Amino acid sequence: MKLGAFSISLSVKDLKVSQTFYEGLGFSVFAGALESNYLIMKNETSLIDLFQGMFEGNIITFNPGWDADAKVLENFDDVRNIQKHLKKGNFTLDKEADESTSGPESMMLKDPDGNNILIDQHV
């Protein structure tokens, strides 16, 4: 399976403080805005998504169809095909993608330790 770009989505208490912290580690703002309560921070191919007040807990995120620069990949596994594969493997899904649609869609599951995994396709 090709899961696409990987990032960790962090629920932060103070977006500006977190921005300053991650900039100190060599990250820079790649997307988002303070006014929108989220920033996507990048250091080479590493991505950290910072969200203030949008969800609880942290989320492991994969973006089928995107590379680490959010550029559309020519070949990728659609989230619906990934979902079918996971269902065949008896994975429990917390949110399922609508298999009757095409284009942007997402699904969610938890790993054995309860960490949320979001497979979020934007194309």
Over the stretch 62-101, which tens digit does the pLDDT of each residue have?
999 999 999 999 999 999 999 999 999 999 999 999 999 9
As for how many domains the chain has, the answer is: 1
Q: Tell me the C-alpha distance between 121 and 77, whole Å.
A: 10
Which pLDDT score, from 0 to 100, does residue 70 have?
A: 94
Which pLDDT score, from 0 to 100, does residue 68 have?
A: 93
Best CA proximity match to 13, nearest among 59, 57, 43, 46:
57
The answer to whether 48 touches 39, Cβ cutoff 8 Å, is no
Q: Tell me the C-alpha distance between 112 and 123, whole Å.
A: 29
Could you list the residue range(s) of the whole structural domain that residue 14 is in? 5-121
What is the model's pTM? 0.92
Over the stretch 42-64, which tens digit does the pLDDT of each residue have?
999 999 999 999 999 999 999 99
Confidence of residue 34 (pLDDT cuts 50, 70, 90): very high
Best CA proximity match to 78, nearest among 22, 9, 7, 1:
1
